Amino acid sequence: MRTKQFKSESKRLMDMMINSIYTHKEIFLREIISNASDALDKLYFRSLTDSSVGLGSEDFVIRIELDEENRLIRVIDNGCGMTEEELDTNLGTIAKSGSLAFKKENEKTENVDIIGQFGVGFYSAFMVSDMVTVETKAFGSDEAFRWESEGADGYKIGPCEKADFGTVVTMHIKEDTEDEKYSDFLDQYRISALIKKYSDYIRHPIKMEFTTSKPVEGGEEGEYEEVKEDRILNSRIPLWKKNRSEITPEEYNNFYKEKFYDFEDPAKVIHTSVEGQATYHAMMFIPKRPPFDYYSKDYEKGLQLYSKGVLIMDKCSDLLPDYFSFVKGLVDSEDLSLNISREMLQHDSQLKLIAKTIEKKVKSELEKMLKNEREAYEEFFKNFGIQLKFGVYNGYGVHKDVLKDLLLFTSSNEKKLVTLAEYAERAGEEQKKIYYACGETVEKIEMLPQCDSVKEKGFEILYLTEYVDEFALKMLGNYADKEFINICDEQLDLDSEDEKKELETENADAKDMFEEMKTAIGDGVSSVRYTNKLSNHPVCLTTEGGISLEMEKTLNSMPGQEQKVKAQIVLEINAKHPVAEKLKALFADDKETLGKYAKLLYGEACLISGKTIDDPVEYSNLICELMTK
Ligand code: ADP
Ligand code: MG
């Protein structure tokens, strides 16, 4: 036998297992059983195309043996087994998704309590054992190997004798301590209960020899004998094929956490069985929080795909649109061929049909949540809403109608989250526009000078704080026949006909003055004019031509954007503000000062809109000049 060290990551996980103070040590059995079941699935899968396997679906069995005297639990499978190399890499390193996800989460929280709440894998055996051996023979090979470890010091690997293919995992159970009665795990009733609790839905039979005492047949009163009989400990019905009424919330939650490596209960369970053109069972979950890699490139969306109870693909991305990529879960269909290839799946019409109904189902569940569990929905939206907004915007808006009623925005109406439908309803027939404003935070948006006058007219404003927001609204164009308009758009029009006419005349009269001011400011603005949009502030910036300041910022921050996008900026001046008179006077007899004031007003407007000042040094100098005059 050769002695080896664990890879450093594995060693850490192993240390944690051995010293675990976690109270649910019992989950080790679930982990070992689930590995055995995976191994059976792999070989079963192969048997579909390879007749040399020679096993039918009922021949795959997991067997548990208890040896109380020697403190041993054996878990035996006739699955695919492992070669020497596989044994070394699979059990010497943490390579697999589950363990890795665990490790990453754990780095963040350092909370030992999360151990065992989801798949921590093979090493969990060390929570209850002081020695674990694995004897295995890969299918089709005539050599068997043995792996053995007493914990963090490392492991030994070498050849061994084993007649049949498959794997035997032998756990030597720790001695009892004051805190933990490990001997319980050697009790047949305890084991049987654990299988019911955690592994009931495993497809393959989990068998164990049960010892009971029965009255001796034809014997005397009170005469008992020990009877040994093989029992199947699991019901073998996958959870998703059971009736919803038979499943407790705890079962759903445990199933989710174990299968999808989360340590929190899901925010929502969607369990559905469909019969008709497409026939399938689906069990889906919306996580409480985004997975740690959700907003990174590494995140892969998709649902597990089963055919007749057998896993055929781990992440079938075609089953979920991007905007529902946060959904975790599985689909089991009778209609799919077991040995269909990935490429063929993409064109499978049955799969497309399933995907379509899944999308509808998720959507209707979200709508229901929005209607009946507002608080939960708002929490969901805080986590994943941005994905829905991207969904509206992406693909030139082809999915906007699916998603528009699922969106929420903060509103000036008590700063609550509102749907577009709620806004439209409050606005009534008369109001033809939906007003919105953009900024980094709600507080900053409320400081925009335009906000006051829109509110004074009694209009509600949507506050957009995420950069995708405005793009999504632009893509929608309108809602309930009400056009979206940025309150910082030059076209914002709150005036009556008379007011409009008056303003037009004032602007025409001041045309030359504004030309003078525009020239002084330079490239920064495309025009200067009077406005009625302001109540107290002297100036504000608006944009014309559809690109807002926020959009300009976003577009220019995108990588590979060589040619800078430019918003066309208008400097608008409050015609009723005393500063207007001052400007007129200066235009009459001091054009030089008019130019300086124009720059000052422009700088001021930039500051208020959250735009950086083009030339801060010049701006400061002008202020000083004014102070020392
Ligand atoms: P995971 O199951 O998430 O992959 P584990 O730590 O539980 O991680 O197991 C590590 C690997 O060891 C498995 O992926 C599998 O390749 C191998 N393995 C474990 N148990 C068995 C078994 N009974 N038969 C075959 N391979 C096994
Ligand atoms: Mg495992």
Residues in the chain with pLDDT values less than 70: 20-23, 94-120, 338-343, 561
Q: Is the CB of 92 under 6 A from ligand 1?
A: no
Q: Is residue 109 domain-resident?
A: yes
- The response to whether residue 41 sits with its C-beta less than 6 Å from ligand 1 reads no
Q: Is 321 in the pocket of ligand 1 (CB under 6 A)?
A: no
Please give the backbone phi and psi of residue 399, each rounded to the nearest 5 degrees, phi first: -105, 10
**What domain range includes position 124?**
2-232
Q: Are residues 165 and 40 in the same domain?
A: yes
Q: Is residue 597 part of a domain?
A: no
Q: What CATH number is associated with residue 200?
A: 3.30.565.10
Rounded to a whole number, what is the distance in angstroms from the first to the last CA of the chain? 93
Q: If you average pLDDT over every residue of the chain, what do you get?
A: 89
- Among the candidates 372, 388, 417, a domain finishes at 372
Nearest atom, ligand 1, residue 99 CA: 3
Ligand 1 centroid, distance to 90 Cα (angstroms): 6
Q: Are residues 219 and 244 in the same domain?
A: no
Asked whether residue 76 falls in the same domain as residue 155, the answer is yes
Q: Which-ligand-closest: CA of 39?
A: 1
**Measuring from atom 21 of ligand 1, which residue has the nearest CA?**
35
Q: Is the CB of 166 under 6 A from ligand 1?
A: no
Residues 218 and 265 in one domain: no
Angle at 578 between CA 577 and CA 580, to 5 degrees: 75
Tokens of 47: 């048997």
Residues 207 and 112 both lie in one domain = yes
252/228 same-domain check = no
Ligand 1 and 96: CB distance under 6 A: yes
Instruction: Record the tokens describing residue 470, joined without a space.
Output: 């405005």
Task: Quote the pLDDT of residue 128.
Answer: 94
Contact call for residues 450 and 488 (beta carbons, < 8 A): yes
The answer as to whether 42 is a domain residue is yes
Query: At residue 412, what is the residue type?
Result: S
399 within some domain? no
User: Under a CB-based contact definition with an 8 Å cutoff, are residues 484 and 434 in contact?
Assistant: yes
Query: 247 and 107, same structural domain?
Result: no
Q: Where are the alpha helices (DSSP H) in 76-206?
A: 84-92, 97-109, 188-198
- Please tell me if the CB atom of residue 82 comes closer than 6 angstroms to any atom of ligand 1: yes
Instruction: Give the 3-state secondary structure of 496-510.
Output: CHHHHHHHHHHHHHC
Domain assignment present for 153: yes
Q: Is 423 in the pocket of ligand 1 (CB under 6 A)?
A: no
**Whole-angstrom distance, CA of residue 303 vs CA of residue 298:** 16
Indicate the pTM of the whole model.
0.74
CA of residue 13 to ligand 2 center, whole Å: 14
Which two tokens mark 504? 């037009």
Residue 628 CB partners (closer than 8 Å, separation 6+): none
Closest ligand 1 atom to 166 CA: 24
Residue where a domain terminates, one of 341, 372, 403: 372
400 inside domain: no
Does 116 sit in the ligand 1 pocket, CB within 6 Å?
no
Closest CA to ligand 1's atom 5? 121
CA distance 139 to 45: 13
Query: Is the CB of 36 inside a 6 Å radius of any atom of ligand 1?
Result: yes
Strand partners, 529: 572
Ligand 1 atom at shortest distance from the alpha carbon of 86: 16
**Ligand 1, closest atom to CA 121?**
7
Closest residue by Cα to atom 11, ligand 1, is: 90
Separation of 292 CA from ligand 2 center, angstroms? 21
pLDDT in the model for residue 108: 46
Residue 130 domain flag? yes
Q: For residue 613, give the DSSP letter.
A: P
CB neighbourhood size of 355 (10 A): 20
On whether both 27 and 155 belong to a single domain, the answer is yes
Residue 91 beta carbon below 6 angstroms from any ligand 1 atom: yes
Q: Is the CB of 31 under 6 A from ligand 1?
A: yes
User: Would the CB of 98 count as within 6 Å of ligand 1?
Assistant: yes
Judge if the beta carbon of residue 87 lies within 6 A of ligand 1: no
32 and 122 Cβ atoms separated by less than 8 Å: yes
Provide the CATH number for the domain around residue 355: 3.30.230.80
Please give the distance, rounded to the nearest whole angstrom, from the Cα atom of residue 531 to the centre of ligand 1: 71
Q: Return the residue whose CA atom lies nearest to atom 27 of ligand 1.
A: 35
pLDDT in tens, 494-526: 888 898 999 999 999 999 999 999 999 999 999
Q: Rounded to the nearest 10 degrees, how much is the dihedral formed by the CA atoms of 500, 503, 508, 510?
A: -170
The reply to whether ligand 1 has any atom less than 6 angstroms from the CB of 532 is no
For the record, the structure tokens of 189 come out as 């009733």
Distance 339 CA to ligand 1 centre (A): 22
What is the predicted pLDDT for the residue at 302?
A: 95
- Do residues 203 and 246 share a domain? no
Q: Is residue 58 domain-shared with residue 196, that is, in the same domain?
A: yes
Residue 75 and residue 47 share a domain? yes
- Whether residue 292 is found in the same domain as residue 255: yes
Q: Ligand 1 pocket check: which of 38, 91, 99 to mutate, most ligand atoms within 8 Å of Cβ?
A: 38
Q: Are 375 and 416 in contact (CB under 8 A)?
A: no
Which of 181, 199, 232 corresponds to the end of one domain?
Answer: 232
Q: What pLDDT is stored for residue 445 in this prediction?
A: 93
Q: Is 77 in the pocket of ligand 1 (CB under 6 A)?
A: yes
In a domain, 256, yes or no: yes
How many whole angstroms separate alpha carbon 327 and alpha carbon 322?
10
Q: Atom 10, ligand 1: which residue's CA is nearest?
A: 90
Atom of ligand 1 nearest to the CA of 94: 6
Per the structure, how many domains does the chain have?
2
Q: What is the Å distance from ligand 2's center to 311 Cα?
A: 15
* Shortest-distance atom of ligand 1 to CA 35: 20
